[in-house]
Structure 1
């Protein structure tokens, strides 16, 4: 996937602002099973938030980078304990990037 422009990232950040996190990274960190489930969610939603719990072995930045590697998604941002990921749907893309 080609890298997103700053304008596209700003657009996705504004879209993600109102979303609630749908996954949590806990003590076990980023597992392969979690990455698989996040991939399914990205296919359905394209843009998701992941919450990194305080007791996790990794911080939000590390978790975001690991998820980016394991899912092939674009890491849009990390704020506090929240990671925002974007991956266009292969079957039915709904988010139109500027």
Structure 2
């Protein structure tokens, strides 16, 4: 959904937190505690598996967030400025992988 109003940095950050970091946190916790309850694995292995699920989820969800931001005319530099402190992206390479190569980052 594209609109003509300029999004504030706060709008872009909140959208990223709610569509990327919140679901990843829920997924990682569900996997970790689900494995604790239903699998006879070590804590380290549970944590590693939860981390892997979180990483895969991040690569899919952050792509959706970046594409949403681009549809709303947010520049790559501004997206990096907002996303880096918000723990959404780490470098401009992550954004360029999505926008220029049309790939999921880190998969």
Q: Aligning the two structures, in what range does the TM-score lie when normalised by the shorter sequence?
A: 0.3 to 0.5
Question: Please, what TM-score do these two structures have when normalized by structure 1?
Answer: 0.39
Greater strand proportion: 1
Which of these two proteins has the greater Rg computed from alpha carbons?
2
Question: Please, what TM-score do these two structures have when normalized by structure 2?
Answer: 0.37
